[in-house]
Structure 1
């Protein structure tokens, strides 16, 4: 997974919130969580520190307040996480994961149409 350690579920949740906010203090990240997601301020602070130590976010001091920004784009984290998952669980084979998602999740007719279009486009690109 790149040169960075993977993310825990909690770290990923805080990283996603920071991606939405673009730049934020611990308090701003904490307050951005919906009220039903009961997460302690100290937990958010710990996760942000871990994310910084792992290289996913950068922190800078603004007076006495630490302001965090993402240093890794969501697309990169998604790619690295999925690749690691496919390698570990499916021995590097993507089709079993795709099959599982299609068979076990409720795929709408619109999503199936989009999937067919994607397959058609990829097949067309391979024949060019």
Structure 2
């Protein structure tokens, strides 16, 4: 892919992701399933990794979400939360476990218990 093509696709993806962030975080009215949003974000991450000179501070890959609804309160965590970041493979889950243990100052052999729930994305057909 030519650099100018990458720039065009990056620009389009950023605009689309920003729109979905606004719909989700501000209006509480998402239009796409999480899997589609994740696909868009992963594509943007791939392009920015291939063309690091095109990464900008305002890219959705450089920030989390959007300004939340005013109805949501603020909570301060004693220990900062870390994200699993959509682990799709065993290796990604193991990397998350290692980050948790480092943050909690635990040894690599110490056990941490997790609770997980399957995520289902349902669609209806018209």
TM-score, length basis structure 1 = 0.28
TM-score, length basis structure 2 = 0.28
Between structure 1 and structure 2, the one with the greater Rg is 1
